[in-house]
Structure 1
């Protein structure tokens, strides 16, 4: 179960660093219903192969000019969406005084293709803007793409002291796709897994101005992303709230004042609350610490230790010298027990458990095995057409036939199969690859839906003993340019994906809850592994490639299998 007592379910985290800060183009994020993924829906393509993301920079909005026409006033108002300072103070200059308090810019942001905007005047007092929508950000900071459909936004104007001003406009702002990450930045709300071991990121997008308050408000008073709600937990009880609508900074310390029955909370709960707040808020520049405050007095709370999802940065592979971690000279460092056991099977795919005590293997004959460091190798799944298996943080090995996505099974440490219930994959005709986050809370998959190759992620719902029961609602991340090949978790909020794109192969680094970046990959690659800073690909001929910027360097040959690692022994 998720949480106990007054604790409510919650969602994941991620800081504005690494790929989150570098990303600019758009991928796709959309919620799918409980009964399966949609056969059609929003798509927001990433950076095209070979293109370079524009740099992150600030935009300067322009104030209204005297004598401007109604159409010029509306265009200036829309263009001023690039200036969030002072709650879009410059944009408010285009509004009539009677309307300023009615316009709600924080309710949503529409991300569009600026080149396709069309303004039409209907008399002097009415102007409409047609936009080609690419994505939206809602009031919670959730990023969702659109499928390029057009929508029309109506505006009404009147003269105020001889100058045209807007008396009615849709709530929210409009930004060009090329402007989006110059105005909004990715931040993460941090939640726990149900066992209180790992921190899980839920990426949200906010303007950098007043980001600390927005993050604290959504973490304490908000809710997790719906697709994650059944898979994570929050230490913040329902009856605890942010006491005031601001979180001031004092010498780098965010002062988070709370209301509700704070003094009745146990020390363990306060410590977990602090553990969620500190990384969530420290992703904002200038925040070095967090202090929870009640009625003017700082609460005593310390962050608790959480489990790491780091992996060994060396390649994990099988060569003619054996299975293990490869040195720069191609030597194999064996993994005690696993290396010896691997020599007795013929693995086509290997995923090493986080504690190195076992590995999930698909053999050349197609069977899924548990290969332990001690004891006998066991065959778990011998169904026809199995894809590469995955292993989670609790030792469950997940297996499914490619042509029957609904037949997903998880084999526990006792080797007994658990049927994963629910209709999360009911609309999919095929599953090409699966991968489980190293914290064990989410599963990503390449699914064929409506004849299109898609990538989606699902929360894993477990019982009180950690046994997986079902998958939550799906979050569709992107529709691939061609057939999907492979995917892996590069870190706790980033997927690495291989896919065909016409005559080429592309590598996509996809944020869970944001856009992705696309790079042309070497021809013939079949496997992806690594981290955002060190992505590795294996070619069908056994060549190992490592990414250096937008280039791929050959760093090895004779690689029989590239392994996936789910962590490191603690």
Structure 2
């Protein structure tokens, strides 16, 4: 999840480290926590300071020390470079990427003289832009060639990038949301990236200003930064929580709307690094820019249910009905429901498997007559998306006027799909799919026409997570997180998965058939096959019984 560091938390951590130091300093171990070294003024960062090579170390000790030094990003991995020959230091590119491996799943061998192979069972990879991707199964070998330089073994050849076990990776790197706009410039879309936690403001700003969106969503989002302006200094100073970002003078030629969009993206992206405000500068002169207001994708925090014929939000033992939709839905015999943000349209699958568009004026229209359909989902423009469980490539989006738009390729590469949900921003869609005999979570960008509303295709699907059993249901929690339910043996497992990051799992109640996300981690609701509604309050607690449908929401009215 995106890192939100409060200053008070950092100060408390600093005090704890100082007090711990009074009890004595560690004298052993290959890696230890050292004093923070700030590159620019701002909230202090805390990072590992790995050990330098020891004199007369063996080739294996040099390779193992080099791997351990991947935990020290200071000075462009300065300590790790000490394990390299003088010549190879000029060639090695530590920022080329990260291979994250399962703790304890590594080995080292020597297939030839002066050559060592470090093999790992990968968990994920992070590329040079900070994009995280689950790794394919199978061990990865890293080959190192060593020579003696001034009587000491040093590495003369090694792959670019660093290698970290999953535990150390979570301490050295943190996730941050780069913020982009949807195609209509209305809503911010997070693009999760992983950077070393030292001086994150500089890394985030460089990625946003000089980089581009992740390829899988590039055609579904927009950025105000299109290469027309550049940064005039590599670092971003932070004073009293305000990031000071210096641009070249050409930024003055841009119109006020573009500048406002730039500041909006910068403020949202840097908020995850604890930045309170952004000051855009040309030289020493601040630009007079005000960020834009964007559309919220929050939903009502209460569960939206159909219970005893009443459709609405559960408040205690009562249901606060949604005007108009309640009567129409009760008569439709719904099995699954998703409402648009205005709560005037619902995408419905009935008990007989029919797919309906239900309106708050009481109209019910059958939109898809194919058999074996997954639960439908409605996007921000009123399109109802459908796909048959056994035909993942046959995705269709139905316009409010009933026009069917076939989405080319659909979930290409999948053999089965259990659930599909459009994100609340309307720019992405997630699915539970089976591919290669394995159940997984995939996400794709939604590509729309020039008007920005009509869906035309999906981008290349991004595998987000591999599951330990058959998928049951999924729901968006926020712009970067999906709640997933799957079956592992006889158990239901609930997984919160970051799109472009890691996931966490807990055991769910028996018989879960539906999940609905709220607005933050831990805010999911579950419905079981006996009509029990659960919420996570430390453990799973029953909120109500006799619930017929747990509905998904696409947002709030307004």
TM superposition score normalised by structure 1 = 0.86
Cα pair distance change 1:358/1:113, threshold 3 Å:
closer
Q: For 1:498-535, what per-residue CA distance to the aligned partner results, in whole angstroms no more than 9, with x for missing partners?
A: 11111211111111001111111111110001222321
Partner of 1:490: 477
Partner of 1:318: 306
| C-alpha separation in 2, matches of 1:447 and 1:154 | 36
Runs of 5+ unmatched residues, structure 1: 1-13, 19-55
1:259 deviates by 2.9
| C-alpha separation in 1, matches of 2:306 and 2:322 | 11
| C-alpha separation in 1, matches of 2:52 and 2:80 | 8
Equivalence map 1:237-248=2 (5 Å): 237-248=226-237
| C-alpha separation in 2, matches of 1:402 and 1:120 | 47
Partner of 2:55: 66
Cα pair distance change 1:486/1:123, threshold 3 Å:
closer
Cα pair distance change 1:357/1:122, threshold 3 Å:
closer
Q: Which has the higher contact order (CA 8 A, sep 6+)?
A: 1
1:402 deviates by 1.8
**Are 2:385 and 1:404 equivalent residues in the alignment?**
no
Q: For 1:336-379, what per-residue CA distance to the aligned partner results, in whole angstroms no more than 9, with x for missing partners?
A: 11112223221111111101112111111211111111252222
Cα pair distance change 1:159/1:429, threshold 3 Å:
closer
Equivalence map 1:48-447=2 (5 Å): 59-121=48-110, 125-259=114-248, 261-285=250-274, 287-328=275-316, 330-420=317-407, 422-447=408-433
| C-alpha separation in 1, matches of 2:72 and 2:436 | 40
- Secondary structure, counterpart of 1:300 in structure 2: coil
More helix as a share of residues: 2
| C-alpha separation in 1, matches of 2:353 and 2:108 | 59
Correspondence for 1:533 among 502, 517, 522:
522
Partner of 2:551: 563
- Secondary structure, counterpart of 2:89 in structure 1: coil
1:428 deviates by 2.3
Cα pair distance change 1:342/1:122, threshold 3 Å:
closer
Once superposed, what is the RMSD of the aligned Cα atoms? 2.0
| C-alpha separation in 1, matches of 2:226 and 2:110 | 51
Deviates more, 1:473-482 or 1:179-188: 473-482
Q: For 1:412-464, what per-residue CA distance to the aligned partner results, in whole angstroms no more than 9, with x for missing partners?
A: 122222222x2242322222111110010111111222333222111111112
| C-alpha separation in 2, matches of 1:374 and 1:90 | 68
Cα pair distance change 1:137/1:374, threshold 3 Å:
same
| C-alpha separation in 2, matches of 1:69 and 1:375 | 78
Equivalence map 1:457-536=2 (5 Å): 457-465=443-451, 466-531=453-518, 532-536=521-525
Give the number of aligned pairs.
Answer: 516
Q: For 1:476-499, what per-residue CA distance to the aligned partner results, in whole angstroms no more than 9, with x for missing partners?
A: 112221111111111111111111
- Secondary structure, counterpart of 1:89 in structure 2: helix
TM superposition score normalised by structure 2 = 0.88
Q: For 1:218-258, what per-residue CA distance to the aligned partner results, in whole angstroms no more than 9, with x for missing partners?
A: 11111111110111111112322223322222332212222
Runs of 5+ unmatched residues, structure 2: 6-44
Cα pair distance change 1:260/1:138, threshold 3 Å:
farther
- Secondary structure, counterpart of 2:332 in structure 1: coil
Partner of 1:454: 440
